[in-house]
Structure 1
Amino acid sequence: MAVTAKSAWRSVRHFVWGEEPATRAEKVLLLKIDWFILSYCCLMYFTNYLDRSNVSNAYVSGMKEELHMVGNEFNKINTLFTCGYIVGMIPNNLMLQVVSPRIWLPTMQIVWGVLTFCSSAVTNVQQLYAIRFLQGLSESSTFVGTHYILGAWYKPGELGKRSGIFTSSGLIGTLFSGVLQAAVYQNLNGTSGRSGWRWLFIIDGVITLPIAFYGFLVFPDVPTTTRAFYLTEEERLLSADRLDSDKGRDVSHVKPSWNLLRRVLSKWRWYACSLLFLVSGETESFGSNNLMGQWLKAIGGYTVEQIDYYPSGMTAFAIVSTLVCATWTDATRSRARWPVLVYMSISVIIASICILVWSSPTGLKFFAYYLAGASYAGQATTFAWANQICADDDQERGIVLASMNMWNNVINAWWPLVFYPATDAPRFTKGMWAMIGTALATLLVTALVYYLERREKRQARRRADREEVEEADEKVDEKKERVYEGSFQQ
């Protein structure tokens, strides 16, 4: 009975947290890097998404009226943020290979924290345009930078879960933003002559800065350069050795070389992985444009607090979907990531159809918006998949991860203006049809990436088999030569 219980516990542990480390030393190391890497990255991403979501929540909580916003000016705010995000994406990820990540990531967080304080003092929408562009530049360091760091520390069987936890921390920021805005509106609106939405930005900045200073203190860089105070010399060596033991894994961390562009563009990985997130990332438009909040505000009958609170159900379902899917992909022997994208695509197709049928009951529309939270499950899985595909080239991995998010944001810069303009609320008919098309395209590109990855693995196995045969032939030839030489000497 005890053996059965122990076996069951190991099975549960493997499903929930991945492969058990081979040695006690590796187990201690994994606990340390889980605590310090994930604690900082998750807190950093939490404040990142808190800042992004606060603009949407501020818009439906008084900012629109106070800044006299009309037409699609809300969409333009998001577009300018996205433009800054695009411009900063690849430079930020390259800087992580030039400047210590322990310095660069917290510094960028301080920059956007200060800009968040500035958002509380704007007097017109044009000032907010400029601030959001600069925030996009600084915040673009966070998402792909963290996925680059996670890929440098974790094995394939550990990566999906950690990527899921990281992504969920951003969603928790979104969830918390709605709750925070409602609380601020109830308790601080009008205090010291400031509107509730202005206090929201101030509180956001107050939360952000201490977390940045925590990053300066504890973030460990990457295994080959880490000097973290909590890692012993043996643990520093083990952190690189345990990844280097993976066949074909590159854990080097060197400055970008001139042949990097040629090396990246001569393979299928950059093209296919970029296309995958370019398409699949747009399924997140339900949440990123706060369509449910705009719908509730447009149809009327809901208080400001309800408009802030109710969309949190979508975020809650997004968190659950992300964690369950990330756990499942790590637990499978094949580390297959593609089923998550299938689940995500089917969910948003169903949600879009429910919203398109305008005569459907309000309860069904609530269900549809909440189901759309499944769209976020693909984010962590897609980047874990790219980390896995590019594990044999550290520099290529950094470029591919940055390009995936960059190209998605290139589309996202104009996508909401065309398909989800604020003037289309509450129906968003064009947007729902666009969502169905995006989901179908995601299924096609997922199949393409799956095929290319399998083909590359087959080619690698054939090369390995040929090399093994050639090595065996060389040994036979050497043996024959020794025998011949011995016979000649006799």
Structure 2
Amino acid sequence: MTPSRSSSLMEKPGLADVKSAEVVQEETDAEFGGTEARKRLEKRLLRKLDLSMSIMIVIYILNYVDRNNAGAARLRGFEQDLQLQGTEFATLLSILYVGYILMQIPSNMFLNYIGKPSIYLPVCMMVWGSISILTGITKNFVGALLTRFFLGFVEAAFFPGALFLISKWYKRSELGSRTALLYCGNIISNAFGALLASGILDGMQGKLGRAAWRWLFYIEGSLTIFVAICAIFILPDFPATTRRWWLSEEERRLAMKRMEEDAGVGDENETEVGGHAAGLWLAVKDWRVWWLAFAMTSQVVALSFNAYFPTLSATMGFGPTVTLLLCAPPFVFTAVLAFLVSRHSDKTGERFYHISVPIFGGIVGFIIAICTMNTAARYISLFLMAQSYAGFVVLYTWVSNSFPRPPSKRAVAVALVNAFSQLGNVAGSYVWPSAWGPTYRKSYAICIATAGCAIVMCYIFKLHLTWLNKKLDENEEEKGIKEKGFRYLL
């Protein structure tokens, strides 16, 4: 409040600002028929968006099923038929992430440029489904290596593209639960993939003269292509480019207005920041992007048990079918927990503790697995390990929250963090050698160290965002602004 303001206003600080904000809001809402009409329109818009975006959960399930089916195939002769030796199986797992890392940033930049995720993402999905089918006809290590490399090359388009797509439609307060729902596709894939694999591997052995593990790749790849065709007609594009029949022009304008209000600048205009090349440069030179990338890499190493989950389940001493069936419950539990944790994180506007507590729970699971070979205790430890994904989901949301605008920078930042973190999958593929089994104590110790590192790095990042919010408070106070603007979520 400046000294020139009247004493009556000084006696009631903020009253004029509140009235002014209400007037501005009413003028903004008049475009949509008033405040109440806008609320109804916004509710309808979100309902339509949620229904349309739900197809991405199915896509993500198939994305991970196609990526992780090698672990299930290993139980039914995959290694023997391809005559794999030493670390060749681990190399097949890790080579996927080479292509995955290389393509994420160019893919998201291209997606932001064309503005048509409803075409781009399903086409990529069809290609990786076809490559998955080709894995089933490989005869040796080299053939499998090539299909796994190109599988990662094409799969790279989906997850960073999906994160970018939902960040273009949903406000920061809505993003956590939507990201959680999307990532539940990853988590559920471990349960669904195990159940599907147990049925195929148990019932398809020798059909048409083919091994069951080959049928696993044929059937899951074909299912991926079918869903991709359906997704072309369901997925939305960006608010500024979409022309879907289910979205009215008024709803489209409201979608753009919502995002403009959420961060103070519209998504459709990037000329002020130099467009896509500037977005790349802004992301690459921002140390916070690299800090989060390293934090996520550490946590990805801690989650490397995922690709070997059937192997870890097998240490309890059951047959192949029961082993795969036992993989499902921990991830069903994790999917529910991840959604609840992310939803609570959105409601409270808090991120760090919603990340660190589940990760710490995973550390407890690793410690239990180190200490005992008791069947019940080890199964409980698998539940605790799996639930650490709940914290990882919130961490993904935190990345999108922390780089709101310009959208070209957000596209690169999300892709860069996700791509760099996949180095954790490359390293993690070698964390579980058979020679360390069945106890895998050294493997669990590595996971404890990397999970602890991730928690520490997230805490330091929280301290930095707290400092930035304090600077924003001081800036608004100096300018006499009473209504708070954008703040980073902690």
Whether the TM-score (by the shorter chain) exceeds 0.5 is: yes
Aligned to 1:340: 354
The reply on whether 1:439 has 2:451 as its aligned counterpart is yes
Q: Distance in 2 between matches of 1:259 and 1:163?
A: 26
Please state how far the C-alpha of 1:164 moved relative to its aligned partner.
Answer: 0.7
1:61-210 aligned within 5 A: 61-99=76-114, 100-210=116-226
1:85-484 aligned within 5 A: 85-99=100-114, 100-252=116-268, 254=270, 256-290=275-309, 293-297=310-314, 299=315, 301-332=317-348, 335-358=349-372, 360-417=373-430, 419-468=431-480
Q: Deviations over 1:445-477 (max 9, x none)?
A: 1111111112112222222333347xxxxxxxx
Q: Distance in 1 between matches of 2:165 and 2:305?
A: 29
Q: Distance in 1 between matches of 2:205 and 2:58?
A: 27
2:74 partner letter:
Y
Q: Any conservation in 2 of the 1:121–1:198 contact (CA below 8 Å)?
A: yes
Q: Distance in 1 between matches of 2:266 and 2:435?
A: 50
Q: Any conservation in 2 of the 1:244–1:251 contact (CA below 8 Å)?
A: yes
Q: Select between 300-309 and 384-393 the one with higher mean Cα deviation.
A: 300-309
Aligned to 2:29: none
TM normalised by structure 1 equals 0.86
Please state how far the C-alpha of 1:273 moved relative to its aligned partner.
Answer: 2.1
Q: Any conservation in 2 of the 1:109–1:209 contact (CA below 8 Å)?
A: yes
Please state how far the C-alpha of 1:139 moved relative to its aligned partner.
Answer: 0.5
Q: Distance in 2 between matches of 1:35 and 1:241?
A: 21
1:4-43 aligned within 5 A: 23-37=39-53, 39-43=54-58
1:23 alignment partner, SS class: helix
Q: Distance in 1 between matches of 2:444 and 2:370?
A: 7
Q: Any conservation in 2 of the 1:294–1:425 contact (CA below 8 Å)?
A: no
Please state how far the C-alpha of 1:76 moved relative to its aligned partner.
Answer: 0.6
Please state how far the C-alpha of 1:211 moved relative to its aligned partner.
Answer: 1.5
Aligned-residue CA RMSD (Å): 2.0
Q: Any conservation in 2 of the 1:75–1:422 contact (CA below 8 Å)?
A: no
Please state how far the C-alpha of 1:21 moved relative to its aligned partner.
Answer: 10
1:274 alignment partner, SS class: helix
Q: Distance in 1 between matches of 2:337 and 2:37?
A: 26
Aligned residue pair count: 442
Q: Deviations over 1:310-359 (max 9, x none)?
A: 12233223212211111111121xx111112211221121111111114x
Aligned to 1:486: none
Provide structure 1 residue ranges, at least 5 long, that are not aligned to the other structure: 1-19, 470-490
1:373 partner letter:
A
2:409 partner letter:
E
Please state how far the C-alpha of 1:181 moved relative to its aligned partner.
Answer: 1.3
Q: Distance in 1 between matches of 2:294 and 2:409?
A: 16
Q: Any conservation in 1 of the 2:98–2:152 contact (CA below 8 Å)?
A: yes
Q: Any conservation in 1 of the 2:369–2:444 contact (CA below 8 Å)?
A: yes
Q: Distance in 2 between matches of 1:415 and 1:50?
A: 18
For residues 55 and 367 of structure 1, do their structure 2 counterparts lie closer, same or farther at Cα, with a shift above 3 Å needed? same
Q: Distance in 2 between matches of 1:163 and 1:261?
A: 23
For residues 191 and 238 of structure 1, do their structure 2 counterparts lie closer, same or farther at Cα, with a shift above 3 Å needed? same
For residues 262 and 462 of structure 1, do their structure 2 counterparts lie closer, same or farther at Cα, with a shift above 3 Å needed? farther
2:41 alignment partner, SS class: helix
Q: Any conservation in 2 of the 1:97–1:253 contact (CA below 8 Å)?
A: no
The reply on whether 1:51 has 2:70 as its aligned counterpart is no
Q: Any conservation in 2 of the 1:296–1:307 contact (CA below 8 Å)?
A: yes
Please state how far the C-alpha of 1:266 moved relative to its aligned partner.
Answer: 4.3
Aligned to 2:484: none
Aligned to 1:481: none
Please state how far the C-alpha of 1:111 moved relative to its aligned partner.
Answer: 0.7
Q: Deviations over 1:344-398 (max 9, x none)?
A: 221121111111114x422111111121011211232112111111113211111
2:292 partner letter:
C
Aligned to 2:23: none
Q: Any conservation in 2 of the 1:273–1:400 contact (CA below 8 Å)?
A: no
Please state how far the C-alpha of 1:53 moved relative to its aligned partner.
Answer: 2.2
1:371 alignment partner, SS class: helix
For residues 390 and 301 of structure 1, do their structure 2 counterparts lie closer, same or farther at Cα, with a shift above 3 Å needed? closer
Please state how far the C-alpha of 1:247 moved relative to its aligned partner.
Answer: 4.1
Q: Distance in 2 between matches of 1:85 and 1:117?
A: 18
For residues 433 and 370 of structure 1, do their structure 2 counterparts lie closer, same or farther at Cα, with a shift above 3 Å needed? same
Q: Any conservation in 2 of the 1:250–1:391 contact (CA below 8 Å)?
A: no
Q: Any conservation in 2 of the 1:171–1:318 contact (CA below 8 Å)?
A: yes
For residues 49 and 415 of structure 1, do their structure 2 counterparts lie closer, same or farther at Cα, with a shift above 3 Å needed? closer
Please state how far the C-alpha of 1:421 moved relative to its aligned partner.
Answer: 2.0
Q: Deviations over 1:217-276 (max 9, x none)?
A: 222111111111211111110111112112435523659443334423443431222222
1:324 partner letter:
L
Q: Any conservation in 2 of the 1:274–1:400 contact (CA below 8 Å)?
A: no
For residues 258 and 243 of structure 1, do their structure 2 counterparts lie closer, same or farther at Cα, with a shift above 3 Å needed? closer
Q: Any conservation in 2 of the 1:318–1:376 contact (CA below 8 Å)?
A: yes
Please state how far the C-alpha of 1:411 moved relative to its aligned partner.
Answer: 3.0
Q: Distance in 2 between matches of 1:409 and 1:247?
A: 29
Q: Deviations over 1:140-196 (max 9, x none)?
A: 111111111111100122111111111111222221111111111222211111111
% identical aligned pairs: 25
For residues 428 and 249 of structure 1, do their structure 2 counterparts lie closer, same or farther at Cα, with a shift above 3 Å needed? farther
Q: Which runs of 4+ in 1 moved over 6 A?
A: none
